Amino acid sequence: MRARRPLVRRLGIGGRTGVVLLAAGLGVLSPFAVVSPASAQQDTGAAGTWATPPQVDETVLPPDTHQPDKTYTKKTQCVQRSLGQNVEIKTIPWGQSYLQLDKAQQIVRAATNSVGGGIKVAVIDTGVTPHPWFQSRVESGGDYVAKPDNGQPDGLQDCDGHGTEVAGIIAGNPQDPKVGFIGVAPDATIVSYRQLSSNYAADQNSSGNSGGDAGSPPGSNTGQPPGNSGSPPSGQNGGQLPGNSGGGGQVGGGTAPEQDDKGDTRQLQKEGTAGTLQTLAEIIRGVADRGDIKVINMSVDHCRAADGTGSIQTGEQQVQAAVRYAADKDVVVVAAAGNVSDDCPQNDQPDPNKPRSIVTPPWFADDVLSVGAIDETGGVASFSVHGPWVGVAAPGTDIVSLDPAEGSTGLANLTIDGTTQSPIQGTSFAAPYVAGVAALVRSMYPQLKARQVIQRIEATAQHPAAPGGRDDFVGYGVIDPVAALTANLPNDVGELAKPKPVVQTAVLPPADSMSSTPMIVALAGTGGGIVALLITLFVMHTIRRNRPTGPPS
């Protein structure tokens, strides 16, 4: 029988009452009680509940065509290094320190003699440049945008400068102690699929099946080629990138931050760009059919307004069927939760089960581990889209990763949106932290199935102070790689289940029934003492009675 995702996720914040009742039924909630096989369904009695997608229609799963859905032509120059220099960034990125990745890597290395070695991670993104710090651990998966124009195999050209940074967080390995940066699983292998690009647009005369409704308001790329906007600030890489990698990072007070800036405008099926939900579904199916890829990272999203009917679009159905297909074939599917933008408003409405925005693939939480973002303070990043489908969170601001420009041998910590420089940030870069941890867990616990790996990551996360140990902002909490690799969880060889409360009975040592001597001695001593006391009282009474009462002679 197919395992289902945790009940508390399906309830979301709107289902807090159900979580409280469940807790009352159990009598107590352990740290692992937030993860369950969830045989129960979300309460569908509440009218207008749109947060849960319709049932999976496996008949719509498209075959993998291994090619773009239509003809796309480059409209913007590919990312290039500014000034032709590599600026050294020797400090350790805060995300690595926050997650204690050095300790996690020591644990895996001691147990397996590598850190993710033998694990393949598919990166479905804008392509991956074969940076030298991958040490030839990047393989071609396929190209669903266009044939590369740099002589590289399919999927190994990153014209947008996004996928390389994502892959670097997963498996970058400088092999230089002077460099603070290192990927989560630096011995893992990346399989690159180029599926999205804002630097390409469909030919005017091209026709093809886009895989369903676009679902997003029209938008277009600025069309400005990346270039130098002056020397980079001191200590920052000259390898700036075109496009915005995420919104700002200021966070308001409380668990739910105020929305004070916007997020990434990069989306699937956006007018003037390459990349559709159908080709995403095709790639997911192709990855699952390969059989040698254990983890998928998708830092690509499709966001649309919720229509209030709970309906689903054709392309969304195809992705839903694809992620179910992959999960059933033992592939861990990780996706970015999405960034707030003008076309993707924040889900800050009163009822979380009636979202303003629907984000695919995170919407399909039964089979996808979606990742929100936190900033350096540990608070929720304001650009991170909320929702009942959010699984966990990871660092997503002030990112340092590999410079995606061809010929680069250094790092990048800046991106260019039009002509404006900004730090690299977004849920796009929180997701690969989780995908890297999933690779380590798969290396450490090869007997665990894909859904069990996800449950382990969720169960060991730093749970928020919310009913059931999750909320719509960080899901089950910020990931804890060390705990995910070392925690002794119930039923590790099977599905993680809620631990049931057990009444602890007092166990006393047995009575000494072999000898009564101690008791006799104690009673005899007590009796003797009482007799002595009585004799003393009698003597004193007699002396006082016989004492003369008259005056002395």
Strand partners, 296: 122, 333
Spatial distance between the Cα atoms of 321 and 54, rounded to a whole number of angstroms: 11
Q: Where are the alpha helices (DSSP H) in 310-445?
A: 314-328, 427-444
Crossing angle (nearest 10°) for helices 450-459 and 427-444: 110
Establish whether the linkage from the previous residue to 446 is cis, with ω within 30° of 0.
no
User: Which parts of 414-489 are beta strand (E)?
Assistant: 414-417, 420-423
Could you identify the residue written with the tokens 């830092």? 299
Q: How far is CA 240 from the centre of its chain?
A: 26
Query: C-alpha angle 69/57/6, rounded to 5°?
Result: 110
Query: Of the candidates 174, 121, 162, which has an alpha carbon nearest to the alpha carbon of residue 438?
Result: 121
What is the DSSP-derived secondary structure letter of residue 289? Answer: H
Q: Rounded CA gap, 420 and 242, in Å?
A: 9
Q: Which of 160, 428, 443, 471 is catalytic?
A: 428
Neighbours of 65 (CB within 10 A): 14
Q: Which helix or strand (DSSP H or E) is residue 392 part of?
A: strand 390-395
Q: If 0-12 CB within 10 Å is exposed, 13-18 middle and 19+ buried, where does residue 48 land?
A: exposed
Catalytic residue, candidates 36, 64, 82, 125: 125
User: Measuring CA to CA, how many Å separate 371 from each of 14, 36, 179, 193, 415?
Assistant: 20, 19, 27, 20, 21
Task: Judge contact between 484 and 437, C-beta under 8 A.
Answer: yes
3-state helix, strand, coil in the chain (%, to 5): 25, 15, 60
Contacts of residue 465, Cβ cutoff 8 Å, sequence gap at least 6:
255
CA–CA dist 544, 267 (Å, integer):
110
CB-based contacts of 207, cutoff 8 Å, min separation 6: 70
Nearest residue to 68 via CA among 165, 213, 207, 164: 207
| 149/147 Cα distance (integer angstroms) | 6
* 151 Cβ neighbours under 8 A, 6+ residues apart: none
459: three-class secondary structure by DSSP: helix
Is residue 302 part of the annotated active site? The answer reads no
The verdict on whether 311 is a catalytic residue reads: no
Tokens of 505: 């009975």
Rounded Cα distance, 192 and 369, in Å: 20
Amino acid at 449: K
Given the residues 131, 162, 386, 463, the one annotated as active site: 162
Is residue 143 flagged as an active site residue? no
Q: For the chain, how many helices (H) and strands (E)?
A: 11, 15
Q: Which residues are catalytic?
A: 125, 162, 428
